[in-house]
Structure 1
Amino acid sequence: MQIYKTKAPIASRRSWFLSLIIVLLITVGVMILLQGLGLMLVPPIFNISLDEMLALFTSPSDFPNAKYAMYFVQGLGSGLSFIIASLIIAKLIDKADFGIEQQIDRFKFNGFLILLLIMFGSLLFNSLIIDWNANMHLPESMGKLEEFFKRTEDERMVMTKFLTDFENPFEFVVAVLVIGIFAGVGEELFFRGVVQPKMLIYTQNGHLAVWITAFIFSAIHIQFYGFFPRMLLGAIFGYLYLYSGSLFYPIIAHILNNTFTVVLLYLSKLGKIEFDIDQTGQVSLPYAIIGLFVLLLGMKVFKEKGKKYKLDEELEESL
């Protein structure tokens, strides 16, 4: 059901290794270039000198524009870089067509309502996976590795709390744009729009394509204590695309998932609710099980709705 029409030899199954190497090189190259560009533009835009750049990331609270500068670099180096890398790979390397008209046609309002049900179920069930993953312990022989993972997690959490400690509504809006919209569009265009269809070509199996892509999606975030819940989310996004043939579903689901967390943090800052981002186990086991049931039921209904669409080969012949 995915749409990634290409007949380029480099995109064929027999060229899978070379194709993946090219994807890796282009993506890393674009990310380095855009992050470098972002860092170069920070001094003139945010009035932070080059001498202060290192201190910006080690002691960001010392700079009044630190949050905006970091969101700027993050927006360029992650969200926008994935969009540009996807277009370069698809259009210049694979000579592929995303079939935007078909993807728009396949997006339906009733499908969107089912998507909301799926995301509600995943929110409840994934909280159980988050709690389990956050409290994992490696064998004693891997103690140094576990110590490294925990130290990295603590450092990441300090930065996350700084970036989401909103002082005014404008910081909240910027966070929604960068964390919610930019990340949602960029990562879904790359992982579900490019990588997953390529994995389908290589494996000839939709389920394998979804889970391999979800594994890569989670691994690239380099967060051991959040690996499995992120992989589950990636798989949910992948099935939304596999069953519907429209990237709009996983993009919207990704935006909703990220934005929901940002909204909770902002409401907590305003004192409207109690929410701590580094606390796990906030959903009880019965509710998590209900969430799994809702998730599976929603996916089943979503899959049945998607069966009415033509296969990609039939669509291509009808164009």
Structure 2
Amino acid sequence: MEIYKTRASIASKSNWLLSLIIILLVTFGVMAVLQGIALVLVPPLFGVPLDEFMAILSGQSTNPNARIALLFVQGLGAGLGFFFAALLIAKLIDKANLGWKQQLQRFRFTSLMIMIMVMLGGMLFNSLLIDWNSNVHFPEFLSGLEVKMRAMEDAAMDLTKYITDFDSFPEFLMGVLVIGVCAGLGEEFFFRGVLQPKLHAYTGNAHVGIWLTAFIFSAIHFQFYGFFPRMLLGAIFGYLYLYSGSLIYPIVAHILNNTVTVILVYLNKLGKVNFDIEEADEVSIPLALLGLLILLLGLRIFKEKNKTQITNGELD
């Protein structure tokens, strides 16, 4: 069961709309402030003038420190932004107790191995979902919207390729820190640690809380052609938390998921493996269905191992 103990009136079910509005305002505010601080620190730390930063965002900067400067801004403004926003909401606004001592006590090595099984099954099935989602076509009357969404997707991919086109080992380590650790820690603390238990409480149903959180988690990336695979991934993280009562599992799972991708991209550039971040590995339907079976079976075993029971969407 998720741990989010609070008696603050603002966190009550009757104030759900106000609470969500405050979450939105606080999160954007914290991220804006941290990104502003990061931008101010870029020139003295990395020798990149602020007037060059737009060129960095378009991937056209020739400054040797451009990539690591962009990773720094992304890590402080986004990854740590979510972390500090969640901390501010939980501690100062909701006055909530996440029971970190209890969460750490619930973390077990055997459950970690089962979690890895769950993630492997999810990766296999998600490959099929990625391929389907990337080839979705809108009706003719929405063709203009499709063109705009494809353009946004291409721009996001260009930026991702630029950020992960590491020219040195220090850049690679910075990529692991920002894309793997900071994103995994910050996003899981915010989405699964704070938002999911609140939506669970507001809707009265654990599953609705998980899938609503996963929907929002995917939507904030503003990438329709990766929306459904990312939502499934968010739901997997959500069930890992629900069934264990320990946020450590989704944090570790998220960090591993992102870090493995960063490592594969780097090894591909070194010529050690063949990996294209733009292309999902082709997985046959039978193999993808096997992945789904492994995912569902793994979650079932994970749930039983952690002795969390659910009846009609409610925790016992």
Q: Map residues 237-248 of structure 1 onto 2, 5 A cutoff.
A: 237-248=237-248
The two structures have a TM-score, normalised by structure 1, of: 0.95
Instruction: Report what 1:16 is aligned to.
Output: 16
Instruction: Report what 1:147 is aligned to.
Output: 147
AA of the residue aligned to 2:156: R
Q: Does 1:231 align with 2:231?
A: yes
AA of the residue aligned to 2:219: A
CA deviation profile, 1:48-84 (whole Å, cap 9, x unmatched): 2233232232344411111111000000111111111
Q: Map residues 158-237 of structure 1 onto 2, 5 A cutoff.
A: 158-237=158-237
* SS of residue matched to 1:277: coil
Aligned 8 A contact 1:26 1:89 in 2: yes
Q: Map residues 17-56 of structure 1 onto 2, 5 A cutoff.
A: 17-56=17-56
Output the aligned Cα RMSD: 1.3
- Work out the CA distance in 2 between the residues paired with 1:284 and 1:209: 32
Question: Closer, same or farther in 2 for the Cα pair 1:121/1:73, shift >3 Å?
Answer: same
CA deviation profile, 1:108-134 (whole Å, cap 9, x unmatched): 111001001001101111000000000
- Work out the CA distance in 2 between the residues paired with 1:248 and 1:13: 26
AA of the residue aligned to 2:107: F
Aligned length: 310
Q: Does 1:276 align with 2:276?
A: yes
Instruction: Report what 2:302 is aligned to.
Output: 302
Which runs of 5 or more residues in structure 2 are unaligned?
Answer: 310-314
Percent of pairs with identical residues: 60
- Work out the CA distance in 2 between the residues paired with 1:101 and 1:159: 39
Aligned 8 A contact 2:210 2:235 in 1: yes
Aligned 8 A contact 1:4 1:97 in 2: yes
Aligned 8 A contact 2:38 2:72 in 1: yes
1:19 positional shift: 0.3
Aligned 8 A contact 1:60 1:66 in 2: no
* SS of residue matched to 2:246: coil
Instruction: Report what 2:121 is aligned to.
Output: 121
AA of the residue aligned to 2:92: L
- Work out the CA distance in 2 between the residues paired with 1:216 and 1:293: 26
- Work out the CA distance in 2 between the residues paired with 1:156 and 1:226: 11
- Work out the CA distance in 1 between the residues paired with 2:63 and 2:230: 32
Question: Closer, same or farther in 2 for the Cα pair 1:19/1:111, shift >3 Å?
Answer: same
The two structures have a TM-score, normalised by structure 2, of: 0.95
- Work out the CA distance in 2 between the residues paired with 1:215 and 1:59: 29
Instruction: Report what 1:317 is aligned to.
Output: none
Question: Closer, same or farther in 2 for the Cα pair 1:281/1:49, shift >3 Å?
Answer: closer
Instruction: Report what 2:312 is aligned to.
Output: none
Which runs of 5 or more residues in structure 1 are unaligned?
Answer: 315-319
Aligned 8 A contact 2:199 2:212 in 1: yes
- Work out the CA distance in 1 between the residues paired with 2:12 and 2:263: 43
Aligned 8 A contact 1:134 1:280 in 2: no
- Work out the CA distance in 2 between the residues paired with 1:225 and 1:95: 38
Aligned 8 A contact 2:244 2:308 in 1: no
1:36 positional shift: 1.2
Aligned 8 A contact 1:126 1:229 in 2: yes
- Work out the CA distance in 1 between the residues paired with 2:245 and 2:270: 40
**Greater CA drift, 45-54 or 197-206:** 45-54
Instruction: Report what 1:63 is aligned to.
Output: 63
